[in-house]
Amino acid sequence: MDLHARLDLVASRPVLSVDGVIDLATIPTLHSHLARAIVAHPGVTLTVDLDAVTAVDDCGLGVLLGAAGRARDAGGDLVVVASSERLRGRFRLTGLDRAVDVRERL
């Protein structure tokens, strides 16, 4: 399955909207989009909207954690938005929500 991402400004804040499945096959695409967004917007909070994502494997969680670290190193931060209770439950189970701010909506 393919992964698509689009970077937009919403109320002058960068929002990376991701669509598809985040797994081993799509990690390079996600990593690339996250890295470009962080470089393009240093010192601000990048919002990663996962509302159109149907699944995230452990490798995908690692990429999100790494991106949060890079955003913080650049003086900003990373916020994950997921309205799906299933995804938010996975983030709670794995502890992602303790390392990254996970919100239900933008």
- Distance separating alpha carbons of residues 13 and 2, to the nearest angstrom: 26
Is residue 30 pLDDT above 70, yes or no?
Answer: yes
Written as six digits, the tokens of 39 are: 């470089």
- Distance separating alpha carbons of residues 78 and 15, to the nearest angstrom: 10
Q: What's the pLDDT score for residue 1?
A: 66
Q: Return the sign of the alpha-carbon dihedral for residues 35, 12, 52, 106.
A: positive
Helix (H) or strand (E) holding 15: strand 13-22
Domains of the chain: 3-100 (3.30.750.24)
Residue with tokens 């991402």: 5
Q: What's the pLDDT score for residue 106?
A: 84
Asked whether the beta carbons of 18 and 30 are under 8 A apart, the reply is yes
pLDDT digits (tens, 9 = 90+) for 71-92: 999 999 999 999 999 999 999 9
pLDDT digits (tens, 9 = 90+) for 37-71: 999 999 999 999 999 999 999 999 999 999 999 99
Written as six digits, the tokens of 94 are: 């794995």
Relative to beta strand 13-22, strand 3-10 is antiparallel
Q: What's the pLDDT score for residue 90?
A: 94
